[in-house]
Structure 1
Amino acid sequence: MEFVEILMSISKNILIIPAHYFTPWFGVLGFKSGFNSIEECFQEKSKHIYALETGLSSDPSMAFRISKLDKYTLVSFSDSHTSNPLRLGREFTVLKLIKFHLKKFMKL
């Protein structure tokens, strides 16, 4: 919750996407976090969470079947923890855009 406040102090238009939602060890709901939902983790600040990054452990077809995630946009990003170029960009989200408007994107 404090993390969201710090980020929003930078800009009210910031897009906060918790990473590794489905990663069992360090994900936002993983073993190490101690949380069982986005609402439990971010409390009243969860209204500022519009998207979740699925992580490598996720199977997108399974993720889309979890109805409690319907209010979130699910995305996949590569966040390599190494300088090995073979690991860069192995996951990504494609956005087909003519023009990007952050405020409109956040309202989706």
Structure 2
Amino acid sequence: MATRFGRRAADGSFEYHDSKESLAASELRENSDARAGLFGLIGLLVGGVLTYVVLLKIGMDWPKWLRFGLVIAGGGTLAYVLAKFADLIWNIILTIVLLAVLWGIGSMIWKAV
């Protein structure tokens, strides 16, 4: 009888896999989807606000429906871009945090010596 690997998914269901590689891949995929959703929400909010600020400078005399559409389009565009590049952005953030920690440790050692 073959070994099966199982885990509880974020939605509460229990899933089984035939190999450890498949189990690890499903965990990475689930984490990636959650990260993409978070960055998509952040992109929607930030993109909408940035588009609105730009419209305050150049387009306040435009019709209301056009300004509303541009704000929605700007937020949606940034949400899409950030969701697509969520893993890359997350890796950049982790690299910056790691470099900051190493810099802090190095500066503490430098001052102690």
Query: The TM-score by the shorter chain falls in which range?
Result: under 0.3
Q: TM-score, normalised by structure 1?
A: 0.21
- Relative contact order (alpha carbons < 8 A, sep ≥ 6): 1 or 2 greater? 2
Q: TM-score, normalised by structure 2?
A: 0.21
